[in-house]
Amino acid sequence: MPELYQQIADNKRKSWLFVLFLFVLVAVVMFFFGILTGMGSFGFILALLIAGFSAIGSYYWSDKIVIAATGAQPADGKQYFKLHSLIEGLCIAGGLPKPKVYVLEDDAINAFATGRDPKHAVVCVTTGALRKLDKSELEGVLAHELSHVKNYDVRFVTFAVVMVGIVGILANMAFRGMLFGGGNRDRGGKGGSLGIALVVIGILFLILAPLFAKLVQLAVSRKREYLADASGSAMTRYPDGLASALEKIKKENLPVKTASDTTASLFFANPLKNFSVGGLFATHPPIEERIKRLKAM
């Protein structure tokens, strides 16, 4: 158990480093945005406003945005009494306030959590998971998602998704500005060769920045899944339940219909098609490795 707490603390330190990295990356993107669009300081301020409003919006309304994007519905207390009871019991065990509970009409076995902190959290589970998982398996999946809430993973993942998205949006806007001739005003003017060099560097940076930001985000997110598996198993004291749920997901291999590249990292298991393919662009660790680690506990 002390090792688990050490992993949580180490994970939080790495997350803050990643957040700092994203802020620096966005700042540099905003700098080149001003140069390539020919807007100068005004372009930097415009990019800053776009990034600022996006970050604030993601902090306060991330749960509503994700719920609307997936089409999830509130879980009625009477119809889903067993689900509410399981979550209440796990919250007591984990020292958490009870989150809002939602269900997503989908045959795939999956779940997700979102929200800015434990007091403003949402846990959603698919109807497929409710039908196909037994009590210990469902409890393991719910404990995994509640661990994300307790460790503030939901805040981090939502922030990371938004900031990586901002990098892509600003890069796209800068290239569009160049196509319409916005950057031409500064290329051959007073800046001379230095101005041309900055434009070339800016183009290369804006091409690579979204890809690099996404790769780092996914790498950090994958580590958080291993930690949530361990934390969830500590909450239920039965890792075999979670391992069994993962085995069922691996066997049926069904995507979640309303999931997207934007929301994929929030789910318990990768909800997209062909999610068994691992690598740098995987949103989650390989299911086989997760099962192996759980069975070794």
Average pLDDT, the chain: 82
Of all residues in the chain, what percent carry a pLDDT higher than 70?
85
Catalytic residue among 137, 139, 145, 225: 145
pLDDT digits (tens, 9 = 90+) for 129-162: 999 999 999 999 999 999 999 988 887 777 777 7
Name every residue whose Cβ is closer than 8 Å to that of residue 66 and which is 6 or more positions away in sequence: 112, 114, 122, 158, 263, 266
Between 267 and 210, the more confident residue is 267
pLDDT band at 8 (very low <50, low <70, confident <90, very high): low
Q: Kindly tell me the burial class for residue 83, based on how many C-beta atoms sit within 10 Å of its own C-beta (0-12, 13-18, 19 or more).
A: buried
This prediction has a pTM of 0.80
pLDDT category of residue 185 using cuts at 50, 70 and 90: very low
Residue 111 CA to residue 94 CA, distance in Å, equals 18
Is 145 one of the annotated active-site residues of the chain?
yes
Strands 111-115 and 121-126: antiparallel
> Highest-confidence range of 12-26, 152-166, 207-221, 223-237, by mean pLDDT?
223-237
Instruction: Encode pLDDT of 44-54 as tens digits.
Output: 777 778 777 77
Give per-residue pLDDT as tens, 233-242. 999 999 999 9
Residue 252 banded pLDDT, cuts 50, 70, 90: very high
